[in-house]
């Protein structure tokens, strides 16, 4: 079997993410550069985990669209208060892990955060 540099880089990244974020109840789907990005200079933000079908991207829960899985009961929206002197993506993820953030469906890959208000960010999970 031939292993390309691309495969090697991917394996190195996944090994790094598994070690760096051990204990996460979700999979981080970002590269090292994204993890170092600063979300804000504020010292406190709120991360909103929403389970609405067409808003913040989880269509696994019952709604009016045909795409929904009617067998799953939609969890309540969760809010995570994050306090940190440096609001890098990786520091925010560390705080989410500490506060037992988890997914409740097949969308287990944390892809990015999106600013919603001055202090509130949403999370986008994919599958």
- Residue 35: phi and psi, rounded to 5, are -65, -30
Domain region containing 39: 5-126
The pTM of the full predicted model, rounded to 2 decimals, is 0.82
Q: pLDDT tens across 66-99, in order?
A: 555 556 677 889 999 999 999 999 999 999 999 9
pLDDT tens, per residue, the chain with 127 residues: 444 566 778 889 999 999 999 999 999 999 999 999 999 999 999 999 987 654 445 556 655 555 555 566 778 899 999 999 999 999 999 999 999 999 887 778 999 999 999 999 999 888 7
Rounded Cα distance, 21 and 30, in Å = 12
The pLDDT of residue 58: 58
Domain count, the chain: 1
Q: Check: CB of residue 25 under 8 Å from CB of residue 102.
A: yes
Q: How far is CA 105 from CA 61, 84, 114, 117, in A?
A: 8, 29, 20, 26
Helices (H), the chain: 5-20, 32-36, 89-98
């Amino acid at each position: 079997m031939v292993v390309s540099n691309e495969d090697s880089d991917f394996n190195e990244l996944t090994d790094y993410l598994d070690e760096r974020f051990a204990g996460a109840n979700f999979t981080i789907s970002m590269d090292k550069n994204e993890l170092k990005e600063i979300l804000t200079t504020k010292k406190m933000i709120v991360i909103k985990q929403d389970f609405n079908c067409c808003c913040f991207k989880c269509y696994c829960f019952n709604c009016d669209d045909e795409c929904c899985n009617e067998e799953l009961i939609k969890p309540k929206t969760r809010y995570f208060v994050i306090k940190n002197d440096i609001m890098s993506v990786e520091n925010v993820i560390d705080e989410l892990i500490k506060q037992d953030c988890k997914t409740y469906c097949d969308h287990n890959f944390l892809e990015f955060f999106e600013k919603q208000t001055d202090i509130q960010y949403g999370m986008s999970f994919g599958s």
